[in-house]
DNA sequence: CAGCAGGGGGCGT
DNA sequence: CGCCCCCTGCTGA
């Protein structure tokens, strides 16, 4: 009751869900091979009707979508192409809006930033989270949103061994950032909205838990925020960045949390460059 | 090689 | 639906 960590854990990966229904949904889309929706024209099949419709559009000879703008003759075979065209051409919205939080380089599209993060900064996403998420900041830029890792076991271990935070961060591989939901906040405090690290003012209720921040490679933040359901929750951000040198030791001296987290931040390919 | 962009597909909301 | 994935061709440094 007091602990609102997601209680329903997928038996096949590290994803946890708040409800049985959402877990069932996850199981279906993530782990089921069932593809009831089949294309008549080819051997394509998928898991829902919307995806099938998107696919069928690709079979039409003529582009199925055209731009609404005045006398614009732009056409495309996908709605998303039309929308991006409209934004770019008719709304003059062509400035890069995705910004790398590590080196401040900007990108026009999220997936190109993803490529950058993976190639340049060796980011990886944890198991059960098949992609990065980007979040719009107050300055209008989209930046990587720290993934929330929601395992009860991990949470409890963290609560039991809060002293090993710094070592934990150091043991993690470079550029792996994990957010851990520990519990929800019952009451309601003044401001809402999450406050990301650094950047200009506007930072509200963020407190650093690192006992001593003389180790910039390992920082743990506690952020009081409101989640998608509108519930209050505390998210612990474990930030581990070691730009220079990845820890080569195959087995770190730490136990418990580290082992748990290492399944998330796996070895980088080590054959970069 | 890095970044951009179009197309098509996966899947969380 | 919207966001993000991959694949791929193009372009400029």
Condensed to tens digits (0 to 9), the pLDDT of residues A169-180 reads 333 333 333 333
pLDDT of A193 > 80? The answer is no
Closest nucleotide to A144's CA, by C1' atom?
C4
CA–CA distance, A228 with A20 (Å, rounded to integer): 17
- SS3 at position A9: strand
pLDDT at A18: 67
CA–CA distance, A130 with A116 (Å, rounded to integer): 17
CA–CA distance, A112 with A121 (Å, rounded to integer): 13
The conformation of residue A267, written as its DSSP 8-state character, comes to: P
Nucleotides of C under 7 A from a protein CB: 1-7
Is the CB atom of residue A231 positioned under 7 angstroms from any atom of strand B?
no
Nucleotides of B under 7 A from a protein CB: 2-13
Q: What is the pTM of this model?
A: 0.56
Task: Give the protein-side footprint of strand C (Cβ within 7 Å).
Answer: A 48, 50-51, 80, 83, 110-111, 114-115, 125, 130-134, 142
The conformation of residue A266, written as its DSSP 8-state character, comes to: P
Mean confidence (pLDDT) of chain A: 59
CA–CA distance, A28 with A233 (Å, rounded to integer): 27
- pLDDT per residue over A209-267, tens digit each? 322 222 222 233 444 444 433 444 444 444 333 333 333 333 333 333 333 333 333 33
Distance measured from the CA of protein residue A188 to the C1' of nucleotide C4, in angstroms: 33
Distance measured from the CA of protein residue A82 to the C1' of nucleotide B3, in angstroms: 22
pLDDT of A34 > 60? The answer is yes
Distance measured from the CA of protein residue A72 to the C1' of nucleotide B5, in angstroms: 20
The conformation of residue A112, written as its DSSP 8-state character, comes to: H
The conformation of residue A162, written as its DSSP 8-state character, comes to: G
CA–CA distance, A236 with A155 (Å, rounded to integer): 10
- pLDDT per residue over A94-121, tens digit each? 778 899 888 888 898 899 998 998 888 8
pLDDT, greater one: A15 or A114: A114
The DSSP element (H or E) to which A262 belongs, if any, is helix A257-262
Handedness of CA A191, A193, A198, A199 (dihedral sign): negative
Distance measured from the CA of protein residue A15 to the C1' of nucleotide B4, in angstroms: 33
Considering only residues 143-182 of chain A, list those whose CB is below 7 Å from strand B: none
Distance measured from the CA of protein residue A45 to the C1' of nucleotide C4, in angstroms: 20
pLDDT at A6: 59
Q: Which residue is nearest to nucleotide B3 (CA to C1')?
A: A112
**Torsion-angle region of A207 (φ positive above 0: left; ψ -120 to 50: alpha; else: beta):** beta
Q: Are A23 and A31 in contact (CB under 8 A)?
A: no
Is the CB atom of residue A121 positioned under 7 angstroms from any atom of strand B?
no
Distance measured from the CA of protein residue A167 to the C1' of nucleotide C3, in angstroms: 35
Query: Which residues sit opposite A59 in a β-bridge?
Result: none
Averaged pLDDT, A32-37: 82
pLDDT, greater one: A51 or A164: A51
pLDDT, greater one: A1 or A131: A131
pLDDT of A154 > 60? The answer is no
Q: Are A1 and A17 in contact (CB under 8 A)?
A: no
**What's the CA angle centered on A239, arms A246 and A137, to 5 degrees?**
125
Q: Are A154 and A257 in contact (CB under 8 A)?
A: yes
| Cα A164 off chain centre by | 25
Is the CB atom of residue A127 positioned under 7 angstroms from any atom of strand B?
no
CA–CA distance, A210 with A157 (Å, rounded to integer): 17
pLDDT class for A14, splitting at 50, 70, 90? low
pLDDT at A179: 38
φ and ψ at A220, to 5 degrees?
-120, 125
Q: Are A182 and A224 in contact (CB under 8 A)?
A: no
């Amino acid at each position: 009751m007091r602990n609102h960590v997601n209680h329903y854990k997928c038996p096949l990966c590290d994803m946890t869900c708040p409800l049985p229904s959402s877990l069932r949904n996850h199981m279906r889309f993530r782990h089921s091979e069932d593809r009831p929706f089949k294309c008549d024209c080819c051997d394509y099949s998928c898991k829902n009707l919307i995806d099938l419709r998107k696919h069928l559009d690709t079979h039409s000879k003529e582009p199925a979508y055209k731009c609404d703008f005045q006398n614009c003759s732009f056409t495309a075979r996908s709605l998303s192409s039309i929308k991006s065209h409209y934004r770019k051409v008719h709304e003059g919205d062509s400035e890069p809006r995705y910004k790398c939080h590590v080196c401040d380089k900007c990108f026009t599209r999220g997936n190109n930033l993803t490529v950058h993060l993976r190639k340049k900064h060796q980011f990886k996403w944890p198991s059960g989270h098949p992609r990065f998420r980007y979040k719009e900041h107050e300055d209008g830029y989209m930046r990587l949103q720290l993934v929330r890792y929601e395992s009860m076991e991990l949470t409890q271990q963290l609560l039991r061994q809060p002293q090993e935070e710094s070592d934990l961060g150091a043991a993690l591989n470079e550029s792996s950032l994990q957010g851990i939901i520990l519990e929800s906040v019952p009451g309601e405090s003044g401001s809402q909205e999450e406050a990301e690290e650094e950047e200009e003012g506007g930072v509200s209720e963020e407190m650093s838990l690192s006992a001593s921040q003389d180790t910039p490679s390992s920082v743990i933040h506690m952020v009081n925020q409101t989640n998608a359901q509108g519930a209050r929750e505390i998210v612990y951000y474990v930030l581990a960045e070691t730009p220079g040198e990845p820890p080569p030791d195959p087995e770190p001296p730490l136990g418990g949390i580290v082992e748990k987290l290492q399944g998330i931040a796996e070895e980088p390919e080590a054959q970069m460059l």
